Amino acid sequence: MSTRLKTLPWQEVLYGFFFSFVAVMFRAFFVGTTQTKTLTLNSIVMVLSNVVFNYILVFGKLGFPAMGIAGAAIGSSLAELVSVIFFVVYTRVRVDVKKYGLNRFGLRNGEPLGNILNISVWTMVQNFISMSTWFLFFIAVEHLGERSLAITNIIRNVSALPFMIVITFSSTCSTLISNLIGAGNTRYVRGTLNQCIRMAYLFVFLIILFFILCPNWILRIYTDMPDLISASLPSLFVLCSAYIFIVPGNVYFQSVSGTGNTRAAFILELMALVLYVVYVAIMIFYLRVDVAICWTTEHIYAIGILLFSAAYMKWGKWENKKI
């Protein structure tokens, strides 16, 4: 059965971004408490849920109608909901709410929750703005036509797997750096950072190599339309090339948060996002380039965040910061 191309259901997409915003609060909390294993586990659950929901809704399995690209959008939103549910259940079952002051609203000097919020609030705001600009990218691509939007949604789903690996290593690096600074071993920070980048490259490039060698197989998870698969190939290859910069960019950026200066990380994110938004506006609204070229926005953002974060790690006054 061939899935038909249709406009994305923006109501469901908005639900997905709403669930993402809720998840951001939990991610900020777990970053503030350096519980990066929880973030990794949540990413795995969300990616697997995304694949299952997309398969069911795109191709009409288990009694559901075949919804094509619209099904992929709804599946992604449901995966975001699963992520939120995971965080709620995990926090309820595994987190000591009394230890972190989550069982009361009032804050006093020295209470753990106040210290956590001091760190995590900037992470939460930064993630909120970052996802908002990502949503704006989809709105902008819609101006290029229905097919371009369909391709963009497919590539967005495909990118979830390698990006999960990147987030895993970058979050781990952030925790390691926090521990090193806390223990006064700042001389090991740069070596640890570079080691995390090398390890992330190894795992991510294995996935990217699979995407390059078997692109049709991975794209068939999200659509069975041969012409749409062929049209998505250039965008997929552009995305793959972006990971040359995405890997070190994310590891360096999370390392900034690992130094405890989440306000600096927020400012660096804003600077990179300004470049991103300007580039999107020029490419889509002024030049109206092909959708594959639009995906070079990932290169621009990753290069920007890499340069800004690397500059902070080299010249920023973080070595004597207390964490």
Q: Identify the segments of the chain with pLDDT beneath 70.
A: 1-17, 21, 28, 31-32, 34, 36, 68-69, 97, 99-124, 320-323
Longest dimension (CA), the chain: 63
| Segments in 143-225 forming alpha helices (H) | 146-158, 160-182, 189-213, 215-219
- Report whether 26 contacts 92 (CB < 8 A): no
**Would you state the pLDDT for residue 96?**
74
pTM metric for this prediction: 0.80
**Would you state the pLDDT for residue 116?**
52
What does the DSSP 8-state code read for residue 111? -
**Would you state the pLDDT for residue 292?**
95
**Would you state the pLDDT for residue 16?**
61
**Would you state the pLDDT for residue 229?**
93
Model confidence over 167-213: pLDDT tens digits? 888 888 888 898 888 888 889 999 999 999 999 999 999 999 999 99
SS (H, E, C) 75-92: HHHHHHHHHHHHHHHHHH
- Report whether 183 contacts 98 (CB < 8 A): no
**Would you state the pLDDT for residue 105?**
47
